[in-house]
Amino acid sequence: MGKIKNFFAKIKPSKRRLIQVYAALLYNANLKGFITGNISTAETKSVCVPGMNCYSCPGAIGACPLGSLQNALSESKTKAPTYVLGIILLQCILLGRWICGWLCPGGFLQELLYKIKTPKLKKNRITRILSYFKYVLLFVLVLMVPIMFGWVSGKAIPGFCKYVCPIGTFEGAVFLLANGNNTNYFEMLGPLFTWKFALLIGFIVASIFIYRVFCRFFCPLGAIYGIFNKIAIFGIKVDKTKCNSCGSCVSHCKMDIKFVGDHECIQCGECIDVCHAKAIDWKAIGKLIKEEKLELEKTTINSDIVEDASINNNLEILETKEEKKENKFIAKLKTIKKKTWVNAITTIVLLGSLIFAFLYYNIDWNPTNQIKINDTLESLTIDLYNGEKYSVTDNNEKVTVIYFYREYDQNEIDKLLIQFEDIERVNVLALSNYSNRELNKNHINDNSKIIYGYDTSDSDVLLKFTHELEYPYYVWLDTENVLKYTDSADLENQISIIEATILGNAVVGNKVGDICVSKTINTFDLDGNKSTFNITNQKGKITIINFWATWCGPCKQELPDFERIQLEYKDYVDIIAIHEGKSYDEEDVYNCIDDSFYDFTLMWGYDESGDDYFKALGGGDTLPMTVIVDENGIITYNSPNSMEYEDLKAEIEKIINK
């Protein structure tokens, strides 16, 4: 029995280890991201979590302070990035390097690697000198490189994240590449990834032999936190009146500290147990414990005073020594109960917050049955005016065209009849909205090729294809019930594509060799002029579709090369830069273009809030993305990869010279 107890005592995790596990799970609560290979775009991604946890990790629910700081410095130019700096400063003042010892997933991973039984390199004078190297990286790669490139050249280069950070390579690149849904990401790999992957392997191997090698010598975030160690509200402290300078704490510590609580101290608290003089304690918790002891002493003194008064007043009942012991026992019992309650409440809060995070990020609280372009419609039944039910998916290998309308329009019906009267294997449905169904019924011609029906009271059929109620609205599905078009623009430019689909000699999609799927995109210019773009109107011209965002450094970095191509090949090429829809803000986008691209001749547009066209063209979680379509509407290039002038030119020349 004793051996079993000893075994469990050895494997029992410490409170620090449990909190490290908790932090790693909480920071990466988007578990479905590891399954789908998609990066979370939740609003919490704008908040910096304490410690290094890569923004691009599929499970991440927040941003890394270091990456956010570099991007902010690149973008800020003459303005201080107060939001990011404020969050980091708050973390520093509250916790200092306690974050490194208790919360950082990167530090936790290194400690696990260090547990592998091998000979270990102990700290020495050389390691102490090397510990200052992280301050060099902080100054050069985190501060100077982003500021210089952002200010001088307008190029956002997060130096440390781009060229060094092994946490980003492991959590971001490796986890994304390991997912089968992200095979197209391998096209983006090059010498830079090879360099960073080699660094990652080096750090992993080194972590087995050297305690927290990255934290001690290379982590700029730890350098920032360390500067605030002495003034941080929470952490450890030394009572100098008790300290006998025996040095046990420093010799026991695996970090390169000169004294407890200095800039290298990760506030792990392991030195508390090895201090023979009991001079080391927690700043905040130690104060509470002392106050509790003081209160207990006051209670004992008051008890003695009462006892003395009782004796002096010849009271008949006197406390015996046994009663005193009993009172002390009760006082201790109360203290234990109090600690038990505190521990229980803390455990409940931590577990509750973790469960809440898992539920919040992994359950779709607003499920929708909306079908996207290139999705297969499994089943759909429509109410016809003759009282029958019509199954849209039971199409006998025919193309299905659906026209949604509010008020009957004879001209539009005639147009549909003319467009499809000579095309075989097409089912054409005209669906009235529910509120106008009786009024529209009076205009129906039962002898026409069109099948007439009406939507549900909640417009369920229309909302399967679009976010909002739009009339008129047009949809067509191929012979396999795969959605190929969903738009408010009519079907005139889709007729040739529908015919080619029926004949079986064309595939409408987003891969190289497919006919490019189409969607109407709203366009604008800095003069306030607005129009629309649709790839089906681009026949006879090469079209480059580029997806970008104001917050995306690589996107803005490559746009000048697109403009150069536009000017050089203006007789052959049209280029549209489409801003992603989720974060689109008209004022911000206008200001960004006016500041950096005011004289560009590119077309500017923006996607719908659900990034419908971006996703229809195969977009995932990364920007920029570029799609090149030839003069016949065929995709010749589609990649989530930054492109430079020479790359673009080579792709254009391929099409021109084919």
**Res 340: pLDDT:** 75
Across the chain, what does the average pLDDT equal?
87
Interval 360-386: pLDDT, tens: 999 877 777 788 899 999 899 999 998
- Arithmetic mean of pLDDT, 293-313: 49
**Res 286: pLDDT:** 47
> CA-to-CA distance for 516 and 493, rounded, in angstroms?
13
Element (H, E) at 295: helix 283-312
> CA-to-CA distance for 628 and 648, rounded, in angstroms?
9
> CA-to-CA distance for 465 and 329, rounded, in angstroms?
72
CB atoms within 10 A of CB 392: 21
Instruction: List all residues 6 or more positions away from 120 whose beta carbon is below 8 Å from its beta carbon.
Output: 114, 209, 210, 211
> CA-to-CA distance for 122 and 119, rounded, in angstroms?
9
Interval 192-244: pLDDT, tens: 999 999 999 999 999 999 999 999 999 999 999 999 999 999 999 999 999 99
**pLDDT grade for 150, boundaries at 50, 70 and 90:** low
> CA-to-CA distance for 167 and 57, rounded, in angstroms?
9
pTM above 0.85, yes or no: no
**pLDDT grade for 10, boundaries at 50, 70 and 90:** low
Instruction: List all residues 6 or more positions away from 490 whose beta carbon is below 8 Å from its beta carbon.
Output: 412, 415, 472, 474
C-alpha pair distances (Å), 460 with each of 177, 438, 465, 484: 38, 18, 9, 19
- pLDDT(353) > 80: yes
- pLDDT(616) > 70: yes
Beta carbons of 161 and 73 less than 8 angstroms apart = no
CB atoms within 10 A of CB 248: 15
**Res 472: pLDDT:** 94
Return the axis-axis angle of helices 15-27 and 105-114, rounded to nearest 10°.
130
> CA-to-CA distance for 165 and 178, rounded, in angstroms?
19
Q: What is the DSSP string of 76-131?
A: HTTS--HHHHHHHHHHHHHHTTHHHHHT-HHHHHHHHHHTS-S------HHHHHHT
**pLDDT grade for 113, boundaries at 50, 70 and 90:** very high
**Res 345: pLDDT:** 86
**Res 285: pLDDT:** 52
Question: Integer distance in angstroms from the first to the last C-alpha of the chain?
Answer: 81
Instruction: List all residues 6 or more positions away from 170 whose beta carbon is below 8 Å from its beta carbon.
Output: 54, 109, 200
Total residue count of the chain as it appears in this document:
658
Interval 444-468: pLDDT, tens: 877 778 999 999 999 999 999 998 8
CB atoms within 10 A of CB 281: 19
**Res 318: pLDDT:** 43
Interval 487-545: pLDDT, tens: 998 898 899 899 989 888 889 999 999 999 999 999 999 888 999 999 999 989 999 99
